[in-house]
Amino acid sequence: MQFTTTVPETIDLAIIGAGPHALTLTTHLLQKRQSIRGKFSVFDPSGKWMSRFLQQFAALEIPHLRSPAVHHPDPNPFALRKFAESRPNELFPPYDLPGTQLFADFCEDVIQVRQLQEQVIPLAVKSIEPLPHHLRSRFRLCLQDEQIVIARRVVLATGSAQIQIPDWVNQIQTSYPQDRLCHSQTIDLRKLHLIGKRVLVVGGGLTSGHLAVGAIARGAKVHLLIRRQLAEKLFDAEPGWLGPKYLKDFFAQSDCEQRVIMIQQARNGGSMTPAIATQLRQQVRSGNIRIDENCQVVKAEWLGENWRVECNDGSQYECDYIWLSTGTKFDVTTEPLLRDILAAYPIPIVKGLPVLDTCLRWPGCELFIMGGLAALQVGPTARNLSGARMACEKIVPAIVKPSVAFSPSVTGVKAG
């Protein structure tokens, strides 16, 4: 369903991205102030809410979310449980993890009930340019069809994660077919036929587990390479990070370098859920997968028909496909949409993360950031569904109450 792309020339609030963070922000804003309805626009090239998020789940055939049923875009934490009353078998143990279809249907319901279907403008934002100070705080957004929008405030909710590609990939000498070496974000299991093929999956996170299970289901033999031990965890960060238990110390820490260390320790690289780890162990016994831990690729060579891969322990393997599940990283200096903002308003950056104020605002202007780039002020779960809600608690007051509009920038950010 394509909507006409007439874009207002000026808007009060531009939300860039239409994923779970943007949807969460929109529902929380409307709950606090209904009158904001006509004053904001959401920009996403898909023209639809949650499009990329749901596409990734479908492409990797992920049966359910990793986070419990209280984490979702509606302001009422129990709304998803209520919605699922007639579909209890779509909440998975041990903590009522919502099935992917249930979650998609619930989000669609939230969108319908709040009449947000036509809120997303199907255009990408190409650049955000802060206008000179005498025009007060304004931004010029250039859209993909060259239309210009002037916005008083901007929220960047695109995800902004950069794909991590290992060095050895860039050192491959020979040219190879593009489909033979892919990053997990570009793989769609539904389109693949792998009977008799050998697939090397690189990475130890939950995505690599889904890729391995999906490849085996399509008749492939899988080799899983993990640079550390396979880590089994229910969640990618301990539940204590969702509340004061761990966040109290995090917010009490005024040194952002220390906060980065706390974030890295909390997330601690990739981990798999016990359910996926159990499936993989069963497949090891069936002879469908081999798992090598503490092992890293140092070299890959395309032999014309297949790959030869060399590891740091000297072992060599041949395979037909290499799938990288090597994660993403956040670096504000490589986010194209923030280039002009960085130039106009230079701020401290610690290991790629911007030091925002307590409202997740970029000091000096009315641009707010949600998602992984806001981790210094939200904590280790900033990129998750729970992080979206925590970000709203900080951003929404600054948008609906003008009195909060110019809180001073602080480095030692307090909670709340």
For residue range 56-68, list pLDDT tens digits in order: 999 999 999 999 9
In a domain, 83, yes or no: no
Instruction: Identify the domain boundary among 285, 302, 327.
Output: 327
Q: How many domains are contained in the chain?
A: 2
The SS3 of residue 321 is: strand
Inter-residue contact 16 to 158 (CB < 8 Å) = yes
Check whether residue 178 and residue 322 sit in a common domain. yes
The residue range of the domain holding 153 is 10-49+116-161+330-404
Inter-residue contact 140 to 150 (CB < 8 Å) = yes
Burial 120-130 (b: 16+ CB within 10 A, else e): bbbbbbeebeb
Q: What is the pLDDT of residue 134?
A: 63
Burial class (CB in 10 A: 0-12, 13-18, 19+), 182: middle
Q: Tell me 99's DSSP state.
A: B
Instruction: Identify the domain boundary among 327, 361, 393.
Output: 327
Q: Are strands 353-354 and 316-319 parallel, antiparallel or unpaired?
A: unpaired
User: Would the pLDDT of 209 be above 80?
Assistant: yes
Check whether residue 322 and residue 175 sit in a common domain. yes
Residue 19: partners with Cβ closer than 8 Å, 6 or more residues away: 44, 49, 50, 51, 52, 53, 157, 158, 159
Q: Give the domain CATH number at 43.
A: 3.50.50.60
Residue entry with tokens 């929404």 = 396
In a domain, 14, yes or no: yes
User: Would the pLDDT of 181 be above 50?
Assistant: yes
Check whether residue 141 and residue 213 sit in a common domain. no
Which region among 84-93, 125-134, 374-383 has the lowest average model confidence (pLDDT)? 125-134
pLDDT band at 269 (very low <50, low <70, confident <90, very high): confident
Distance set, CA 27 to CA 86, 313, 353 (Å): 24, 52, 26
Check whether residue 186 and residue 172 sit in a common domain. yes
pLDDT band at 43 (very low <50, low <70, confident <90, very high): very high
Tokens of 290: 């081999």
CA 152 to CA 8: how far, in whole Å?
Answer: 13
CA 389 to CA 382: how far, in whole Å?
Answer: 9
In a domain, 69, yes or no: no
Check whether residue 32 and residue 129 sit in a common domain. yes
User: Would the pLDDT of 333 be above 90?
Assistant: yes
Check whether residue 311 and residue 376 sit in a common domain. no
Q: What is the pLDDT of residues 109-155, one digit of tens each?
A: 999 999 999 999 999 999 999 998 666 679 999 999 999 999 999 99
In a domain, 348, yes or no: yes
Check whether residue 224 and residue 299 sit in a common domain. yes
